[in-house]
Amino acid sequence: MTEPQPEEIAFAREKAKRTLPVAILVLLGLVAMYLPLPKRFVAFLPLVLAVVLTVRLLRFVSTRAGKEKIWPVVTLVISGMLLSTLALQIPFYDAISAYEECVAGAQTSIAEGDCAQLRNAGMSGFVLR
């Protein structure tokens, strides 16, 4: 077996140093998505930082083979999907928060089923089917 070149070792260390914060930020953003609605928007900060750091990582590995870029692109897609989910909750804020409050206050499964009307209501208040 051949020994890895010092340049390869240095590249792998630098890539790992740049990848770890991105993974932690995406995980932090994902955990923040489970907070109740007004606090949920805290997830924007780590997710936007993850996107910025992922773009920097992609620039760093741009000279390498295509397989080096797969996971940063996957991370970028996941972060983008989470950010778009948060962005879509802004126009539906009233309906979503009313539904979450209804479910949080429901004592039985029947009461929780009554909250389905709030979940199915659109922005205009009409029930969507």
List Cα–Cα distances, 70 to 25, 41, 66, 79, in angstroms: 18, 28, 7, 14
This model's pTM is above 0.85: no
pLDDT band at 82 (very low <50, low <70, confident <90, very high): very high
Q: How many CB atoms lie within 10 A of CB 11?
A: 17
Rounded Cα–Cα distance for residues 47 and 32 (Å): 10
The domain segmentation of the chain, as residue ranges, is: 6-90, 91-129
The pLDDT assigned to 45 comes to: 96
